[in-house]
A and B are shown apart, each in its own frame.
Chain A
Amino acid sequence: MSALFNSGIAPRQRFHRPTDDPVWLKALLVVMAFGFIAVLLLLPLLLVFREAFAGGFLALWTAITEPDSLAAVRLSLMAAAIAVPLNTVFGIAAAWSIAKFDFPGKTFLVTLIDLPFSVSPVVSGLIYVLVFGMQGWFGPQLADHNIHILFALPGIVLATMFVTFPFVARELIPLMMDQGRDEEEAAATLGASGLSTFLRVTLPNIKWGLLYGVLLCNARALGEFGAVSVVSGHIRGVTNTMPLHIELLYNNYDYVGAFAVAALLAMLGLITLALKSLLEWRYADELAAMHRH
Chain B
Amino acid sequence: MSLTVDSVSKKFRRFAALNGASFVAPQGGFISLLGPSGSGKTTLLRILGGLEFADSGSVRFADLNWLDMPARTRNAGFVFQQYALFRHMTVAENIAFGLRVRPRHNRPSGSEIR
Tell me the A residues contacting B by CB distance below 8 Å: 182-183, 185-193, 196-197, 200-201, 204-205, 289-290, 293
Contacts and interface: CB of A to CB of B under 8 A. Distances in A.
B97 A200 contact: yes
B74 to A, nearest CB: 8
23 contacts: A182-B80, A182-B82, A182-B84, A183-B86, A185-B49, A185-B84, A186-B78, A187-B97, A188-B50, A188-B51, A188-B71, A188-B72, A189-B50, A189-B77, A190-B98, A191-B72, A196-B101, A197-B101, A200-B97, A200-B100, A200-B101, A204-B89, A290-B87
Contacts of A191: 72-73, 75, 98, 101-102
A189 B101 CA distance: 11
Interface in B62-91: 70-78, 80, 82, 84-89
Contacts of A290: 87-88
Given A182-B80, A186-B78, A192 B101 contact: yes
Nearest to A204: B88
Contacts of A189: 49-51, 71-72, 74, 76-78
Contact of A186 (B74, B76, B86, B88): B86
A104 B112 CA distance: 46
Contacts of A196: 101
Interface in B34-59: 49-51
Question: Ordered nearest first, which 8 A-B pairs have the shortest CB separation?
Answer: A192-B101, A182-B84, A190-B98, A186-B84, A188-B71, A189-B78, A204-B88, A191-B72
A200 B98 CA distance: 12
A101 B73 CA distance: 21
A201 B86 CA distance: 7
Nearest to A194: B72
A293 B91 CA distance: 13
A188 B74 CA distance: 10
A contact face: mostly helix, strand, loop, or mixed:
helix
A201 B88 CA distance: 8
Nearest to A206: B88
Given A191-B98, A204-B88, A293-B85, A186 B75 contact: no
B101 A293 contact: no
Given A191-B102, A200-B101, A205-B87, A186 B80 contact: yes
A55 B28 CA distance: 87
A182 B100 CA distance: 19
Contacts of A200: 97, 100-101
Contacts of B75: 191
A254 to B, nearest CB: 51
Q: Which of A189, A197, A289 has the most CB of B within 10 A?
A: A189
Contacts of A193: 72, 101
A190 B87 contact: no
Nearest to B85: A293
A201 B71 CA distance: 16
Contacts of B77: 189
B87 A183 contact: yes
B42 to A, nearest CB: 12
A190 B101 contact: yes
A129 to B, nearest CB: 45
B87 A293 contact: yes
A193 B73 CA distance: 9
Contacts of B86: 183, 186-187, 201
Contacts of B74: 189
A14 B4 CA distance: 69
A258 B76 CA distance: 66
Q: Which of A185, A191, A192 has the most CB of B within 10 A?
A: A191
B50 A190 contact: no
Nearest to A286: B88
